[in-house]
Amino acid sequence: MKWSSLLQIPLSLPSFIPNLAIPSWPQNTYPSHPVPLSHLFDNTAAGVAGNFDGKGRSYPLEFLPRGEWEWEGVRYALPASWGSKADNLVCAGQTLDVSGVGYVRELHILYAGDWIDGETTEAFETVFEDGTTHGVQLSVKNWWNLHWLNEGVIKASYHHVTPTEDSYNLTQIHQFTFPLSPLSPLQSIHLPSTSQSHNRLHLFALSYTPALPPGVPEKAKDLVARHARLTSKTQPEAPFAPLLEVTLTSLARSVPNANFPITALHTVHLKSRHFEQLEPGKVYRLAPGDETRVRIPVRWVDAKRDRDETSLPAVVELRDKKGKVRGKWTVDVERRFDREMDTPVWWDDAKFGIFIHWGVFSVPAWAPTGYYAEWYNWWLHSPFEDAGATQKHHLETYGTSLVYDDFIPQFTASKFNATDWIDLFEDAGAKYFVITTKHHDGFAIFDTGSTTHRSSKYLGPQRDLVGELMAAATNSTLRKGTYFSMPEWFSPDYAAYGIDRFPGGLAENPFKPGDREAYTGRLEVKDYLRDVQLAQMRILAQQYGTEIMWCDIGGPNLTRIFAPEWYAQAAKEGRQVTMNNRCGSHASFDTPEFARFSSVVPTSWETSEGIDPYSYGFNRRTLPQEYRSADTIVQTLVDIVSKNGNYLLNLGPDEEGTIIEPMRERLQEAGEWLRHSGECIYGTTYSSLGAELGPLRFTQTPNTFCIISLTPPPSNCLLIPALRQLPILPGDTITLLGSGGDGGPRPLDWEVEEGGGVRVCYEEWEREEVRHAWAFKVEFSER
């Protein structure tokens, strides 16, 4: 969060919001109030005559809700009718005057970006009556995406390309919530300026949740059950019961010296004719203005009877240690019937994984700076994309006669030792790995059976490299994942489905026009999707026991067939599996690439990037000092985890299977930090009050809270300003993880200052014992 004195913001459009007043305070419910925006609408998103993206494309009318619409307890005001007039606004630096709403806990928006190939980051700024400002960044998701899914809350199965042509790609509107600091009444909201962006931000609706204003009587209900949802998660151990998630929210203002709604262990109970609760959920601490998500294992009373019900009534009770009911709410338990799947609990807790890009591209192992080395074969045949750099390098290094498939015999894997790799991943503190089983060049490093012999089992090293790695991992605690490219650049069988940079069809020799290159190892098949793509995904699921299906590119697919059978079979075997958002359906987590979300995203996501700052595949051009430092790796991990993400860090071995020393050193250093400070990473979740404050990041578990500094803290004491509520109470213990040597960290002196800031003090030698990031762990006292 960025705080500063009041800025003078020019008004680029009329900004007055009519009919705003402080609403009456609700009892026992989660309050939300729509903000009128229709007078600012300047774009028509819906109907065949709409032009959402400036290119004539638009949403279909029949999928868009009308009038008041609710999502997870928040009410929004959508157009009463779509398509006849403007129904959204393009963010262009407008300032919305919201004087009169009073103290605000959260802002909620329905939005979409009109690009189709990745998120962009935009900044909103809120201005308060006391002159302070609050900046919040939004990772703007696309309304539809060319290569992968970004699941929205309003979904259409297609969109209009022209009045007579449709595109059957999932099209959506997204939701986002901004937490605010309610130290002063909200005055205005400054929207980002995106009118000239390639990913213009469109705003469909805006709502706010008030915070309890000063002077509200103590009898006012400031703790509510905001939302309840039956997830697709299950208990990590038998009986693998479904987990129902209840969100408890404090509506109190998160200000210094406010009373905590929950200060000691409470249990959360569920009563319903639909579910039998197996055990209660637990809450140890809830600060004013904070929110917690409690998982309760349940058993269906009559699953057959209720299988088509999307909303199931239940009563939620909060009880103290003596069993006295402290809160009681009636909720509708939401159950979503669509392509979304939740990530398993083990994936949520893992936080850190290792990605491995290895294949024939590891032989040339070259790309100009800023380009992926694993795309060598594409750059070689597409000189307009890298200004001919790869063609020039190839010509000077290999001449005109050697084509890409001539590298296959040089992919020897002669120094590959699967056990050594697994040991390195564990030393690095990783909890899972994802190995590239087949990249876009179509060369696989697993036994592809009768689908193709374009594989390391039949060519090159003549070894099942994935199989060796999976076997080595069986004696470890690492979870096993498989990267899988859905298309193949130059497969003649993919030509029938070719899209964009993945056209299919044999490649033309870039130095001998008219000559078509062979597709070594190909076997005759009738249909690429069924006989290659689907068949190989089944092999990885059934024969290799993958726990993560990490697809890439998307495009034409049969995942709607694969996913249900894979999830069902895994459940029978007592395994919990997951799939990313690039397979075509049943997405569990988003996958920003060499990027990360700039604020908390409550849904699951995972950043992937290389230790090489520009490439996944090994690039001989990268100098040892250019690889990401351990400082960068650890700090990136902390930042991602504080915002509810996982970090998938990539290694690029060479053609022999060697992981070079600079990569090993960086990983081992990061692993050392995780061995002493991993308590603030593994098994944690984000803080609803905000992920960061300057160089500080925050994570939490049910009975601990972590303050992690990405820069060396001051010599003797760290001050966390009162701008952010901390869930700390007298009697809690704070330690600096990694300090104290073999004896471990000691309890530190700390105090809450008069203004509400928290000061934590330590010896300078304790600070000096720690490198990379400084994790202060708060352990809640028993009460």
- The per-residue pLDDT for 20 is 56
**Are both 567 and 450 inside the same structural domain?**
yes
Assign residue 644 the CATH number of its domain: 3.20.20.80
CB 705 within 8 A of CB 686: no
CB 268 within 8 A of CB 243: no
Identify the sign of the CA torsion 449, 454, 455, 458. Answer: positive
- The per-residue pLDDT for 339 is 55
**Are both 756 and 640 inside the same structural domain?**
no
**Are both 45 and 150 inside the same structural domain?**
yes
Q: Does some domain include residue 513?
A: no
Mean pLDDT value of segment 117-145: 92
Q: Does some domain include residue 755?
A: yes
Q: Does some domain include residue 18?
A: no
- The per-residue pLDDT for 742 is 86
Q: Does some domain include residue 448?
A: yes
pLDDT confidence tier of residue 175, bands split at 50, 70 and 90 = very high
Q: Does some domain include residue 302?
A: yes
| Residue whose pair of structure tokens reads 């929950």 in the numeric block | 262
**Are both 418 and 312 inside the same structural domain?**
no
- Per-residue pLDDT of 145-173, as tens digits, reads 888 877 899 999 999 999 999 998 889 99
Query: What is the domain count for the chain?
Result: 4
Mean pLDDT value of segment 359-386: 97
| Number of neighbours of residue 99 by Cβ within 10 angstroms | 13
Assign residue 764 the CATH number of its domain: 2.60.40.1180
- Per-residue pLDDT of 428-447, as tens digits, reads 999 999 999 999 999 999 99
Instruction: Please indicate whether residue 7 or residue 268 has the higher confidence score (pLDDT).
Output: 268
User: What percent of the chain has pLDDT above 90?
Assistant: 82
**Are both 291 and 365 inside the same structural domain?**
no
CA angle 290, 291, 293 (to 5 degrees): 155
- The per-residue pLDDT for 599 is 87
User: What percent of the chain has pLDDT above 70?
Assistant: 95
- Per-residue pLDDT of 75-117, as tens digits, reads 999 999 999 999 999 999 999 999 989 999 999 999 999 999 8
CB 267 within 8 A of CB 329: no
- Per-residue pLDDT of 477-530, as tens digits, reads 999 999 999 999 999 999 999 988 999 999 999 999 999 999 999 999 999 999
Q: How far apart are CA 582 and CA 82, in angstroms?
A: 31
- The per-residue pLDDT for 1 is 27
Residue where a domain stops, chosen among 337, 366, 388: 337
**Are both 755 and 631 inside the same structural domain?**
no
| 3-state secondary structure (DSSP) of residue 124 | strand
Q: How far apart are CA 772 and CA 430, in angstroms?
A: 17
pLDDT confidence tier of residue 136, bands split at 50, 70 and 90 = confident
**Are both 86 and 143 inside the same structural domain?**
yes
**Are both 196 and 317 inside the same structural domain?**
no
- Per-residue pLDDT of 301-359, as tens digits, reads 998 888 888 779 999 999 999 999 999 999 999 987 555 789 999 999 999 999 999 99
CA 97 centroid distance within chain: 32
Nearest to 146 by CA among 135, 159, 137, 133: 159
pLDDT confidence tier of residue 17, bands split at 50, 70 and 90 = low
Q: How far apart are CA 172 and CA 461, in angstroms?
A: 45
CB 336 within 8 A of CB 319: no
Residues paired with residue 92 on neighbouring β-strands, in sequence order:
193
Q: How far apart are CA 608 and CA 596, in angstroms?
A: 9
- The per-residue pLDDT for 219 is 46
Nearest to 735 by CA among 702, 757, 705: 705
User: Is the per-residue pLDDT at 217 higher than 80?
Assistant: no
HSE at residue 486, side-chain half, CA atoms within 13 A, is: 25
**Are both 567 and 614 inside the same structural domain?**
yes
| Number of neighbours of residue 10 by Cβ within 10 angstroms | 7
- Per-residue pLDDT of 712-753, as tens digits, reads 999 899 999 877 789 999 999 999 999 998 899 999 999 998
Q: Does some domain include residue 514?
A: no
- Per-residue pLDDT of 242-272, as tens digits, reads 999 999 999 888 777 778 999 999 999 999 9
The total number of residues shown for the chain amounts to 783
Range of the domain at 635: 348-379+411-506+525-676
CA angle 406, 412, 414 (to 5 degrees): 165
Assign residue 157 the CATH number of its domain: 2.60.120
- The per-residue pLDDT for 14 is 39
Assign residue 267 the CATH number of its domain: 2.60.40
What mean pLDDT is reported for the chain?
A: 92
Q: Does some domain include residue 517?
A: no
- The per-residue pLDDT for 6 is 24
| Number of neighbours of residue 28 by Cβ within 10 angstroms | 12
CA 55 centroid distance within chain: 29
Nearest to 243 by CA among 330, 343, 385: 343
Q: Does some domain include residue 747?
A: yes
- The per-residue pLDDT for 695 is 97
**Are both 265 and 197 inside the same structural domain?**
no
**Are both 418 and 562 inside the same structural domain?**
yes
Element (DSSP H or E) covering residue 765 = helix 764-768
**Are both 189 and 318 inside the same structural domain?**
no
